[in-house]
Amino acid sequence: MAEQTLPDAGAPVAATRGGLRQWIDDRFPFSALWAAHLSEYYAPKNLNFWYYFGSLAIVVLAIQIVSGIFLVMHYKPDAALAFGSVEYIMRDVSWGWLIRYIHSTGASAFFVIIYMHMFRGLLYGSYRKPRELVWIFGCLIFLCLMAEAFFGYLLPWGQMSFWGAQVIVNLFSAIPFIGPDLSLWIRGDYVVSDATLNRFFAFHVIAIPLLLIGLVGAHIIALHQVGSNNPDGIEIKANKDARGNPRDGIPFHPYFTVHDLFGLSAFLTIFSAVLFFAPTFGGYFLEHNNFIPADPLKTPPHIAPVWYFTPFYSMLRATTTTSVHLWMAVLTAAALWGAWSLRRRIERLVVLAVGMAFLLWAMATVDAKFWGVVVMGGAVVSLFFLPWLDHAPVKSMRYRPKWHLSLLILFALDFIVLGYFGISEPSPVGYWISVSCTFIYFGFLWLMPWWTGLGTCKAVPERLVYHPH
């Protein structure tokens, strides 16, 4: 083998040390990774309360994986045994009740944290350039998380598990042409059954967790490439000291590790209070009906998904023939406005007219249930486009007009109201509120190119606003 002398530019000569650390570094870039992601990863100094939820999400993911591994040791993915095996975990397995409650409370905690984390992104414009991919990976994580929760909810094989899965899988049958075959293919049977339970188990314990871990890795790598945003929405990399470190930044380790450790202990206190004193959370984290074994012959009078899906479920329920007509009116108005701005380009105008005519025809003929699925899916998919919908000249709500913040709070309240009516039994009042809230939800997102450009923003300071504590 010819001896090669490669220039070793990265490693300073003085850094050569003996011992285990050096032994590892010769074989695996441990010190380099440690430095790049922790000890020399500079994060903005002024990260506030909202920035706890990122690290908390990772901890909850770890909690779910570890508790999940122990649950799988005792759980039986079999329609005849599943319900009993969960009771076996609750009664006969040592500390089984604790592991099960950790996992069930963890599922709800995960969604609380993710919703807070996403709200933070909206509040400070964390999805804006250059963090578009961080946001998109995040949206993919959210999608995976929803899939993970949906598949996992079938496993206890209670009444709500069964009928919830039945309702959601049946939604796919609303897709024109392929729908009935598609839902049959997903279930593996004509109703939710043992075959469905087995495949949902496979998705829940291996397929989706693998995807989730990969996406979380990509999310963090993308974040560390561009650096964290901050409540001021300023790029700290724009202002560096002589050594090339951001003046407004501080090494993640040890400063943010101790910071997040405090956040974690506060979170664990709340988490444990729920886990030990209200594990069912009044029927919201573990639904009452789910303590009855699944019975394909008895439909519960009121089927509601778990709380974290209810805003989207509410949009689904609000999409009826009447609201499809409203959508047609709204989309026609949008198309007319588009036509006006394209009036000098005849080819594009024709494409728009034909496309719109087809869409209106489809909306008038295809069952409203299908459009409900489109609206529900669209509510999640719309989030992906946020980096390109927001045209505000500054990122953070701190320096945007006050009414921008009011709109964001309205959007958050709108989401909560949708959630409330998704849990409640159907009523005419609830229906109309859900319809209005659905339009507010989509209006907030898709009218962003218009409203985010309005109003005058305040001057963004050169340096971070940081108050020593």
Residues that bind other proteins (CB under 8 A): 45, 84, 87-88, 90-92, 97-98, 101, 250, 254-255, 258-259, 261-262, 264-266, 268-269, 272-273, 275-277, 279-280, 283, 288-289, 291-293, 402-403, 406, 409-410, 413, 417, 420, 424-425, 427, 429-430, 433, 468-469
| Three-class DSSP category at 341 | helix
- Asked whether 40 and 251 are in contact (CB, 8 A), the reply is yes
Tell whether the torsion through CA atoms of 358, 360, 364 and 369 is positive or negative.
positive
Of 49 and 97, nearer to other proteins (C-beta) is 97
Calpha distance 119→281 (Å, rounded): 23
Of 96 and 121, nearer to other proteins (C-beta) is 96
- Asked whether 392 and 125 are in contact (CB, 8 A), the reply is yes
Calpha distance 383→415 (Å, rounded): 13
Of 335 and 408, nearer to other proteins (C-beta) is 408
Q: What's the one-letter identity of residue 411?
A: F
CB of 430 to other proteins, least distance (A): 5
Of 158 and 179, nearer to other proteins (C-beta) is 158
Q: What's the gap between Cα 214 and its chain centre?
A: 15
CB of 277 to other proteins, least distance (A): 6
Of 93 and 324, nearer to other proteins (C-beta) is 93
Calpha distance 259→252 (Å, rounded): 9
C-beta contacts of 171-174 below 8 A and 24+ residues apart? 171/316, 171/369, 171/372, 171/373, 171/376, 172/373, 174/367, 174/369, 174/370, 174/372, 174/373
CB of 258 to other proteins, least distance (A): 5
Of 28 and 97, nearer to other proteins (C-beta) is 97
Closest to 289 (Cα-Cα) out of 160, 100, 163: 160
CB of 299 to other proteins, least distance (A): 16
Calpha distance 141→211 (Å, rounded): 8
Of 214 and 300, nearer to other proteins (C-beta) is 300
Of 88 and 385, nearer to other proteins (C-beta) is 88
Of 84 and 217, nearer to other proteins (C-beta) is 84
Q: Partners of 42 in the beta sheet?
A: 251
What burial class does residue 308 get, using C-beta atoms within 10 Å of its C-beta: 0-12 exposed, 13-18 middle, 19+ buried?
A: buried
Q: Partners of 240 in the beta sheet?
A: 246
Contacts of 381 (CB under 8 A, 6+ apart): none
Of 91 and 243, nearer to other proteins (C-beta) is 91
CB of 75 to other proteins, least distance (A): 14
Calpha distance 325→305 (Å, rounded): 27
CB of 368 to other proteins, least distance (A): 22
Of 183 and 323, nearer to other proteins (C-beta) is 323
CB of 198 to other proteins, least distance (A): 22
CB of 469 to other proteins, least distance (A): 6
CB of 267 to other proteins, least distance (A): 10
CB of 341 to other proteins, least distance (A): 29
DSSP state, residue 39? I
Burial 34-62 (b: 16+ CB within 10 A, else e): eeeeeeebbbbbbbeebbbbbbbbebbbe
CB of 121 to other proteins, least distance (A): 22
DSSP state, residue 44? E
